[in-house]
Amino acid sequence: MRSDEFYMHRALDQARLAFDAGEVPVGAVVVSAEGAIIGAGYNAPIGCHDPSAHAEVQAIRAAAAQLGNYRLLDCTLFVTLEPCMMCLGAIMQARVARLVYAAAEPKSGMIESRANLAAQPWHFHQPLIQGGVLASASAQLLKRFFSERRSASR
């Protein structure tokens, strides 16, 4: 099994695809217990005309299709930004065993920034969670995206 940083770099590759498509640069990969990337995705709500087309949901959908199972037992999801409420719900519904994210999301993050929904005792599933892996690289990509967007709108 490779390091968390290795897989987060793969998620950052996905985030760059979102950036290039004009979408908020968030990327995600799902990794099997054996260390294979079985799903990848990036933010695409604009291009897909789908408000649920966040990176996590895209990667979960791809992994579930690859496995032929909606449950991603023993899998790890790597994502470049702290998940929102919708994505955290999808992570829990998919029974992802472990969640690793890069940068905190102060506006809508539901792990550490706005709330800690994952730790609530009533949930049927609680993934192991680690934040901050390559947080600086993720934050820099997001800052560059929004800076360029502001400059273009002037």
Catalytic positions are 56
Q: At residue 110, what is the residue type?
A: M
Mapping DSSP onto H, E and C, the string for the chain reads CCCHHHHHHHHHHHHHHHHHCCCCCCEEEEECCCCCEEEEEECCHHHHCCCCCCHHHHHHHHHHHHHCCCCCCCCEEEEEECCCHHHHHHHHHCCCCEEEEEECCCCCCCCCCCCCHHHCCCCCCCCEEEECCCHHHHHHHHHHHHHHHHHHHC
Nearest to 82 by CA among 51, 105, 60: 105
